[in-house]
Amino acid sequence: MKHFGQAAFALLIALAPATARAEGDAAARIRSYDDAVIGVMKAGGGLPKRAEAFEPIVRQYYDMPAVAGLVVGPGWSTMSAADKASVIKALTRHSAVSLARNFDKYGGERFSVSPNVVNRGETQLVSVTIASNSSSDTIVYRMRKTGGEWKIIDAVAGGVSQLALQRADLATTISSGGAAGLTSKLAKLDAVK
């Protein structure tokens, strides 16, 4: 596992009303997601094999249409259905490759899901500590109910929103090249051998 950096999320949890803290379906969903991630790590293999294994996990646990809309921004509403589909597909692959790069092999890591789920309107925040023999990292997943299931729409690691990073990194590409530019750039970034 690559390290995401230490992060202090106590303030985030402390700001939630005490009555809003209760383990719910979102935490159970993240536990299931973590089990799937560990399964890929334990299976091993090279980057291409892990990326392929992570794609169905991304489709199952992430709300990729919502992620794509948030990454693209205001232009999402005017994109054609075909362009939206190509952006969702490219971002799904990009997420799978990113997971494959970050979770490269199993070394006894322990994923601990906090039972304190923080409600934020229509979203919930679920904190996961990933501990190994030499380090401990925390990821906070922002989740929203879609189609009756809690799905991930963002992950905050080291105090940084991955969604915000993607949006910032891809803003110029989207503005100058639209969906085609975005999918082309991601294809280059995600080429694995």
Report yes or no on 80 lying in a domain.
yes
- Whether the pLDDT of residue 5 is over 60: the answer is no
Report yes or no on 65 lying in a domain.
yes
Which residue, 136, 164, 193, 143, is CA-closest to 4?
Answer: 136
Domain that holds residue 142: 10-15+22-183
Residues 129-169: pLDDT tens digits? 999 888 889 999 999 999 899 999 999 998 999 999 999 99
Query: Please, are residues 129 and 136 in contact by the beta-carbon 8 Å criterion?
Result: yes
Report yes or no on 5 lying in a domain.
no
Report yes or no on 53 lying in a domain.
yes
Beta-carbon contacts of 165 under 8 Å, excluding residues fewer than 6 positions away, are none
The two three-digit tokens of residue 91, written as one number: 């971002």
Can you give the CATH number for the domain in which 46 is found? 3.10.450.710
Strand pairing class (118-120; 123-131): antiparallel
C-alpha–C-alpha distance, residues 155 and 99, integer Å: 12
Report yes or no on 4 lying in a domain.
no
Beta-carbon contacts of 23 under 8 Å, excluding residues fewer than 6 positions away, are 115, 116, 117
Report yes or no on 167 lying in a domain.
yes
- Whether the pLDDT of residue 4 is over 50: the answer is no
Q: How much of the chain, in percent, has pLDDT values that exceed 90?
A: 74
- Whether the pLDDT of residue 16 is over 70: the answer is no
pLDDT, position 69? 95
**Number of structural domains, the chain?**
1
pTM confidence score = 0.84
pLDDT, position 139? 95
Confidence of residue 24 (pLDDT cuts 50, 70, 90): low
pLDDT, position 141? 97
Report yes or no on 159 lying in a domain.
yes
pLDDT, position 2? 47
Can you tell me whether residue 191 is helix, strand or coil? coil
| Three-class DSSP labels, 29-58 | HHHHHHHHHHHHHHHCCCHHHHHHHHHHHH
Q: CB 40: neighbour CB atoms within 10 A?
A: 23
pLDDT, position 192? 72
C-alpha–C-alpha distance, residues 159 and 20, integer Å: 22
- Whether the pLDDT of residue 6 is over 60: the answer is no
Report yes or no on 2 lying in a domain.
no
C-alpha–C-alpha distance, residues 42 and 52, integer Å: 15
Which residue, 63, 9, 56, is CA-closest to 37?
Answer: 56
pLDDT, position 133? 82
- Whether the pLDDT of residue 102 is over 60: the answer is yes
C-alpha–C-alpha distance, residues 13 and 15, integer Å: 5
> Average of pLDDT values for 74-84?
95
